[in-house]
Structure 1
Amino acid sequence: MLIAQEKRKTNIAEYILYIWQLEDLFRALNFDMEKVGSVLVSQFNVDENTRLDIYQYYKNMVLMMEKEQVKEKGHIQAIKNVTDDLNHFHLLLLKSPDDRQYKALYQIAKPLLDEFRLKSNDVNAHDVQVMLQALYSVMLLKLQQKPITKGTEQATGHISKLAGHLAARFKQNEEGDFDLYE
């Protein structure tokens, strides 16, 4: 909850990746709230009321995952909506004459995104889904201490720059410092 709230305010892409990570952690803990409490909630150095809030936040996520039938794979609808909103912003940004740097970053990343889309067998995934899934996949490989090829490192470096720029513009837009009009 604390991390999610902070990431939502500061970097929308990191927020989405964090929620995906929580979903996978809940799956790994078999949606057992006792384990969630002892493994996840206990790691926070906070007062008891905040610890209870975090526990309740996690419990609500677990309930959503169960209700929305994404216990084995997939994402809760709320995070899919955020991802779709970010993709909508991405498309507006590509049309905007106000950010040439984003378009340049996208031109570099687009073939990499297309390649990852094909490899993931999800040809209908939009750019932001593919971008975040690529970054998440590499993050999981690193956590598992599996080897990552130099080509994959370079590709995700380009994708990461694109995601970072997108997240920064999204934040600026939310704060009223960068406007996009349809």
Structure 2
Amino acid sequence: MFIAQQKRKENIAEYVLYMWQLEDLIRAYKLDIETIAENVIDKMAYGEAEKAQIRDWYESLIEMMRLEGVQEKGHLQLVKNTVSDVTDLHYALLKSPKYPGYSALFYQTLPVIGAFRQRQDNPDAEDIELCFVFLYGVLLLRLQKKEISQDTQIALTQISKLLAQLSHNYKLYLNNELELAEPEL
């Protein structure tokens, strides 16, 4: 909970990946709060009051997963909304003449995104969502200690640069420090 709050403020891409990882963790423990408490929460270096807050937070995530029907796969609506907000900012940056560096970085990354899209079940997914899916896939490979090919490593570098820039701009946007001028007609 505290980690998620911090990541949401500091780096939205890390927040999304963290939340996806928590969804998978909750699934791995079969949405059982007692098992999660025993294996995760109780081992955290927090006081009892903080652990109680974290337990409540996990319980609310479990309840949302049940209500939204994402016990086995899929993502919580609050995380989907975050990805949608980031995607909206992405389009605003592309339309703005004030951020040609972001546009250039995106168009450099587009062939990598396109190649990844061809291997996905959801060809209509937004480019930014595919970037998150790619990074999460690499994260899972690393957690499983599987080898990452050179092509995947190159793609990882490019997609990471794009999402790092987008995350930076998202933080600026949340702090009202990003100027998104309307294009002149």
TM-score (norm: length of structure 1): 0.97
| 1:109 matches 2:109 | yes
| 1:55 matches 2:55 | yes
Q: Could you list the structure 1 runs, at least 4 aligned residues long, displaced by more than 4 angstroms after superposition.
A: none
Determine helix, strand or coil for the equivalent of 2:117: helix
Measured after TM superposition, the shift of residue 108 of structure 1 is 1.4
Instruction: Name the stretch that deviates more: 119-128 or 133-142.
Output: 119-128
Alignment of 1:39-54 (within 5 A): 39-54=39-54
Q: Decide whether the 8 Å contact of 2:29 with 2:36 is kept in 1.
A: yes
Paired residue for 2:19? 19
Whole-angstrom CA distance in 2 between matches of 1:40 and 1:19: 15
| 1:130 matches 2:127 | no
Paired residue for 1:170? 170
Unaligned runs of 5+ in 1: none
Q: How many residues align?
A: 182
| 1:96 matches 2:96 | yes
**Amino acid of the structure 1 residue aligned with 2:106:** Y
Q: Decide whether the 8 Å contact of 2:17 with 2:132 is kept in 1.
A: yes
Measured after TM superposition, the shift of residue 102 of structure 1 is 0.9
Paired residue for 2:119? 119
Whole-angstrom CA distance in 2 between matches of 1:41 and 1:124: 38
Unaligned runs of 5+ in 2: none
Determine helix, strand or coil for the equivalent of 1:119: coil
Whole-angstrom CA distance in 2 between matches of 1:137 and 1:163: 15
**Amino acid of the structure 1 residue aligned with 2:71:** K
Whole-angstrom CA distance in 1 between matches of 2:54 and 2:3: 10
Paired residue for 2:28? 28
1:67-87 Cα deviation digits (max 9, x unpaired): 100011100111101111110
Measured after TM superposition, the shift of residue 138 of structure 1 is 0.2
Instruction: Name the stretch that deviates more: 120-129 or 164-173.
Output: 120-129
Whole-angstrom CA distance in 2 between matches of 1:118 and 1:69: 27
Measured after TM superposition, the shift of residue 40 of structure 1 is 1.6
TM-score (norm: length of structure 2): 0.95
Measured after TM superposition, the shift of residue 181 of structure 1 is 4.1
| 1:179 matches 2:182 | no
Measured after TM superposition, the shift of residue 43 of structure 1 is 3.0
Paired residue for 1:145? 145
Determine helix, strand or coil for the equivalent of 2:40: helix
Percent identity reads 40
1:118-175 Cα deviation digits (max 9, x unpaired): 2012111101110100000000000001111000011011000000000000101111
Whole-angstrom CA distance in 1 between matches of 2:179 and 2:167: 14
User: How much is the aligned-residue C-alpha RMSD, in angstroms?
Assistant: 1.0
Measured after TM superposition, the shift of residue 179 of structure 1 is 2.0
